[in-house]
Amino acid sequence: MKKFLPYYPMLKPVIGTFVIALLCGALSGIASGFGLPLMLKKVLPVLFAGTAPQDLELINFDSSQELFGGISATWLPDIHLVVPANYVLIFALLLMPLVFIIRGVAMFGNTYLLNLCGIRVLESIRMKLFTHLQHLHLGFFGKNKSGDLLSRTTGDTMLVKTVLVEVTNDLVIQPFTLVGAVGFIVWSAFQSAATQQFLLSLCVVPISVLPVQFIGKRLLKRSKKMLVSAGELSSVLSESLQAPREIRAYNLEERECSRFRKCVRDFFALQMKCVKYDKMLTPLIEIIAACSISFAVYQAAAAKLDQDTVIALVGALYFAYDPIKKLGKINNRVKEGTAGLARLEEIWQAPIEVADPANPHPLGVVRGEINFRDVTFGYTDVPVLRGVSFEAKPGDTIALVGPSGAGKSSLVNLIPRFYDVSIGSVAVDGIDVRDVRLADLRKNIAIVSQEPILFNDTIYNNILIGRLDATREEVIAAAKRASALEFIESLDNGWDTVVGERGGRLSGGQRQRIAVARAFLRDAPILILDEATSALDTESEAQIQVSLEELVRGRTTFMIAHRFSSIRTAKRILVFDEGKIIADGPHEKIYESCPLYRGLYDQQAMEKIS
């Protein structure tokens, strides 16, 4: 449980409700452990005496009698509490519903309030996780599969919540049932010497807790494996749900089904191992307990203990075992929770590598001057950019050209600090990007990428993402400049059309126009066009190109494009090869001086002719 201690403050917002839940639980525990055996002891003789009701002796404690274990208690007062005969039957008949009413209401209060706390705590755990995920740098998402992260956010958080709420509840209230039941047993022991002998023979009972530890260890190991397997399953599922087109186009249906089948089977096999150890615990405890009780009952028979006392004592013993059983189960829940917590901590403890500086340099609207000084960068130890230096003046349009994998996208990703440089620096208006607040920096940058991500929301809200405080007029104006107004107004629901997951209900060209409208709305001095028109057909490309030409005007623009036709507005071209700039200048100049550029350009010109 030690590992969970730092997370208990999550209960703070619901602490009042949680305490009431625990009080209800304690009451129901005492009602079960003490109330029910007492009821059995008192009511059974009355109901089954076969004669008219007699005076009912509630407590008959004689202090001269030797106590449990031979202790003398002559210093205690004698207690005799007797209910008069007239009331005996009514009392006997009312006691049963009364105990069950107290127990039932308290139990309901306990479980209801506990669920309420559980939901709030789960919300806190998931929010903590989600918030951290939102601030982690992109490299983290490269290393972790989205399906697995999904599984941690939904599944593993539940296990941790169970420990913080349900297990804590059981840890507090089960001892009350136990103490209630043991209290009744001890109280009975005060009453007769035969009972004491019966109880002495119960000393073998504690061995019934032995399986708890044995099973707990095995369950922890299996739970860890099962959670990893659940993550795999989610990954396969989310991957295939995100690529239904590709799966059909490449006839991968069977392959996907067998991949999924394997994951499901592995997961179920591990799940069954957990179920085996989890469900094995109760019967094991019960078998051992039954053996020891049976031994004790034999002792009771030998000591000529009366039947009603035996029944009541066995009832009390049952209620004493219930908490032991539950405490055993708690051990299992804690082991499962520990496995889940370890996986959540991998996320919580992942450092936010790209973070705001301690003393950020204020940054308003920038002019758009950008300086790369001797930049070396790599996703791993292998650099993908090596000693890159150049300067972009405000308003420059720079095209990045080079073979695939040369490092063009990696370079533009350093400007909004999606990643940080390993060596060197990137500066905007002469200020190192690591010295300003991320939000201030990114406010100055608009990005249009190859596959714009639209959220499953209305077209209006999808454009509004560009600048959340924009007015309706500004959103409409941005759509107009992006040549998107016409198609938006022709849709049945117009601006209120919901675009579907990832914008699936729109065409590629329409999605891209929304992305361009977002960039117009953002009106940022720095613009990054990363293969913005590569996924489009030539007709859509030509239409969007007109809007893009207007968009780049007056902004420092970085353009990555495979098609040379789309970089015609660039006055300056940087040619990349293996992470280095090998040529820098206008088209005419580098066409003459750079064989790699000339080769790429001519190859495309040839393809166009053929």
Q: Where along the sequence are the contacts to ligand ADP (CB under 6 A)?
A: 142, 379, 384, 402, 404-410
CB of 582 to ligand ADP, least distance (A): 13
Q: Whole-angstrom Cα distance, residue 227 to residue 267?
A: 9
To the nearest whole angstrom, how small is the minimum distance from the Cβ of residue 141 to ligand ADP?
Answer: 8
Name which of 412 and 488 has its Cβ closer to ligand ADP. 412
If the CB atoms of residues 142 and 430 are measured against ligand ADP, the closer one turns out to be: 142
CB of 603 to ligand ADP, least distance (A): 16
Q: How far is the CB of 105 from ligand ADP (least distance, A)?
A: 58
Contact 517, 488 (CB under 8 A): no
Q: Which is nearer to ligand ADP, 379 or 460 (CB)?
A: 379
Looking at the Cβ atoms of 379 and 601, the one nearer to ligand ADP is: 379
Half-sphere exposure of 402 (CA within 13 A, CB side): 22
Cα separations (Å) of 234 from 122, 148, 229, 437, 501? 20, 6, 9, 35, 18
Query: Is the CB of 273 or the CB of 572 nearer to ligand ADP?
Result: 572
Structure tokens at 104: 């039932």
CA angle 91, 96, 102 (to 5 degrees): 110
Please identify, using beta-carbon distances, which residue of 136 and 209 lies nearer to ligand ADP: 136
The least distance separating ligand ADP from the CB of residue 411, rounded to whole angstroms, comes to 7
Residue placing its CB nearer to ligand ADP in the complex, 142 or 586: 142
Residue 397 CB, nearest approach to ligand ADP (Å): 18
Query: In this complex, which beta carbon is closest to ligand ADP, that of residue 407 or of residue 416?
Result: 407
Question: What does the DSSP 8-state code read for residue 534?
Answer: T
Of the two residues 318 and 379, which places its CB atom closer to ligand ADP in the complex? 379
Burial, 102: exposed, middle or buried (Cβ in 10 Å; 0-12, 13-18, 19+)?
middle
* Integer Cα distance of 130 and 146 in angstroms: 13
Q: Which is nearer to ligand ADP, 378 or 394 (CB)?
A: 378
Taking the least distance from each CB to ligand ADP, the nearer of 405 and 554 is 405
CA torsion angle 3 5 6 7 (round to 10): 100
Question: How long is the chain?
Answer: 610
Q: Is 530 left (phi over 0), alpha (psi -120 to 50) or beta?
A: beta
Burial label for 181, CB within 10 Å (0-12, 13-18, 19+), is: buried
Indicate the residue among 324 and 532 with the shorter CB distance to ligand ADP: 532
Residue 561: CB minimum distance to ligand ADP, A: 11
Distance CA 135, CA 129 (A): 10
Contacts of residue 268, Cβ cutoff 8 Å, sequence gap at least 6: none
Residue 559 CB, nearest approach to ligand ADP (Å): 12
Smallest distance from ligand ADP to CB 406, Å: 4
Q: Rounded to the nearest whole angstrom, what is the least distance from the CB of residue 377 to ligand ADP in the complex?
A: 9
Contact 521, 474 (CB under 8 A): yes
> What does the block give as tokens for 141?
């998402």
Using a 10 angstrom Cβ sphere, with 0-12 exposed, 13-18 middle and 19 or more buried, the burial of residue 228 is middle
Q: Give least dist CB 576 to ligand ADP, A.
A: 6
Q: What's the helix, strand, coil split of the chain in %, to 5?
A: 65, 10, 25
Tokens (6 digits) for 208: 């019934």
- Pairing mode, if any, of strands 423-428 and 397-401? unpaired
SS3 118: helix
Nearer Cβ to ligand ADP (379/487): 379
The Cα-based distances of 97 to 39, 58, 90 in angstroms read: 10, 18, 11
State the sign of the Cα–Cα–Cα–Cα dihedral 157, 160, 164, 170.
positive
Check if the beta carbon of residue 376 is closer than 8 Å to that of residue 387. Answer: yes
What are the E-state strand segments in 217-322? Answer: none
Alpha helices (H) along 136-209:
138-143, 146-151, 157-162, 168-191, 193-200
CB of 516 to ligand ADP, least distance (A): 21
CA distance 384 to 579: 5
Of the two residues 319 and 597, which places its CB atom closer to ligand ADP in the complex? Answer: 597
Give CA–CA dist 13/120, Å, rounded. 8
CA 130 to centroid of chain Cα atoms: 7
Compare residues 168 and 410 and give the one whose CB is closer to ligand ADP.
410
CA 606/CA 385 separation, integer angstroms: 30
Residue 558 CB, shortest distance to ligand ADP, in Å, is 11
Is 354 within 8 Å of 419 (Cβ atoms)? yes
Token duo for residue 331: 């051990």
